[in-house]
Amino acid sequence: MALLEVKDLSISFGGLRAVDDFNVSIEKGQLYGLIGPNGAGKTTIFNLLTGVYKPSKGKIELDGKNITGHSTIEISKAGIARTFQNIRLFDKLTVLDNVKVGLHNHNRYSTAAGIFRLPTFYRTEKRMNERAMELLKVFDLDGEADYLASNLPYGRQRKLEIARALATEPKLLLLDEPAAGMNPNETKELMDTIHFVRDRFDMTILLIEHDMKLVAGICEELSVLNFGKELAQGKTSDVLNDPEVIKAYLGE
């Protein structure tokens, strides 16, 4: 059974069909790419998968559970986490506290415990601090745990955003143009990071990307969107050599 199963997913805005009968099946542990021209509907699909938008039609199943139309919080708890094309960190929080935000998905204490600093509060905080430091160490960010997130270089902010997403303990990680704004060296390091995350955390990853070298280097299969409709789907090498894809996406 596929980890993510999407059938006939559709949404319209003001009469415009932004996503039109999109289908995809992603197996556990797969690195899957979603590509297409600007405005093709890629980020809209991410917003549908994470509950930001409610589909007008279609079905979304995660690990056999129907999550269609669920709230963002419910979908996060079900096991989908994401990053954004424009990095969204809590700039005025420390690197450590940014990761702890993600950990609150599975670590909670009562309001009373927080206000009166009951033993449950201290035990939970200790557990979250330890787990957050473990995640930061994985990404070589533990030495900057007390830095403000805004003081990290761009490439390390991207790593922090991924670490925070992983703190929610997802089954599926959505990466929205993770290489945006990166130089070639940072992109190469990002490719290594994505492979590492997949292997280290046994993670299934769906990513949107415009960098074709990155797509060809890490994605096992691709879906191509154009004007909200699926243009092609299959193994990466086959899709990238499809004349229709070259014509629509590469402009040739």
Interval 38-47: pLDDT, tens:
889 999 999 9
By residue count, the chain amounts to 252
Each residue's pLDDT tens digit, 107-135: 666 665 555 466 676 688 899 899 999 99
Nearest Cα neighbor of 95 from 153, 148, 21 is 148
Q: What order do you get walking across the sheet with 57-62 strand by strand? A: 16-26, 4-13, 57-62, 65-66
Nearest Cα neighbor of 176 from 34, 31, 27, 28 is 34
Each residue's pLDDT tens digit, 179-188: 998 888 989 9
Task: Output the average pLDDT for the chain.
Answer: 91
What class does CATH assign to 1-79+170-252? alpha beta
pLDDT at position 83, please?
97
Each residue's pLDDT tens digit, 194-251: 999 999 999 999 999 988 888 999 999 999 999 999 999 999 999 999 888 877 665 5
pLDDT at position 9, please?
98
Which residues, in sequence order, are bridge partners of residue 204? Answer: 172
Q: What order do you get walking across the sheet with 229-235 strand by strand? A: 80-82, 172-176, 204-208, 31-35, 221-226, 229-235
3-state secondary structure (DSSP) of residue 111: helix
DSSP β-ladder status, 229-235 and 221-226: antiparallel
Which residues, in sequence order, are bridge partners of residue 13? Answer: 16
pLDDT at position 196, please?
95
pLDDT at position 212, please?
82
How far apart are alpha carbons 74 and 166 in whole angstroms?
A: 16
Grade residue 92 by pLDDT with cuts at 50, 70 and 90.
very high
3-state secondary structure (DSSP) of residue 43: helix
The tokens describing 199, both together, are: 């292997």
Grade residue 15 by pLDDT with cuts at 50, 70 and 90.
confident
DSSP β-ladder status, 4-13 and 172-176: unpaired
Whether 160 contacts 142, CB under 8 Å: no
Place of tokens 């702890």: 100
Concatenated DSSP letters of 15-42: TEEEEEEEEEEE-TT-EEEEE-STTSSH
Integer-rounded Cα radius of gyration of the chain: 19
pLDDT at position 250, please?
55
Domain-wise residue ranges, the chain: 1-79+170-252, 92-168
